[in-house]
Amino acid sequence: MTPEFPIVLDLEALNAATFGNADLQGEVLQLLLGQTSTLAERLEGAATAQVQAEVLHTYKGSARSLGAMRIAETCQQLEQRAASGERVSASALLSDIAEVERAVRAVLGQG
């Protein structure tokens, strides 16, 4: 059962994905920050709703595998809309992006 409001960053999922390796966790969190920082731009720059769905699908998978559950859930909802032909706005992701960035920086000791 999915919580109504998924957590921002699931550290247990991150730990499992990185086999408990702290250095690897730091690296993948940095990658997540990089992906997150370009997500809105890629989404808005997508030529069609189908391309938006592909961008969202890719990011959703990355986010889930690294424990960024809230943004993964938002991506899934937007992906479904885009896959049905509706162009979606990146504005729906902005607060999730900010929350993920804050959580990652806190884990990395940067915030």
| Residue 71: Cβ-neighbour burial (10 angstroms; 0-12, 13-18, 19+) | buried
CA-based R_g, the chain, Å: 14
Confidence at residue 1, expressed as pLDDT on a 0 to 100 scale: 39
The structure's pTM equals 0.83
Is the pLDDT at 10 greater than 80? The verdict is: yes
| Residue 15: Cβ-neighbour burial (10 angstroms; 0-12, 13-18, 19+) | middle
Confidence at residue 24, expressed as pLDDT on a 0 to 100 scale: 94
Sequence-distant (6+) residues with CB within 8 A of 80 are none
Confidence at residue 108, expressed as pLDDT on a 0 to 100 scale: 87
In the block, tokens 């509706």 appear at 86
Domains of the chain by range and CATH?
Answer: 11-107 (1.20.120)
What angle do helix axes 49-65 and 69-83 make, rounded to 10 degrees?
160
> What's the pLDDT band for 92 if we cut at 50, 70, 90?
confident
Cα torsion angle, 69, 93, 59, 18, sign: negative
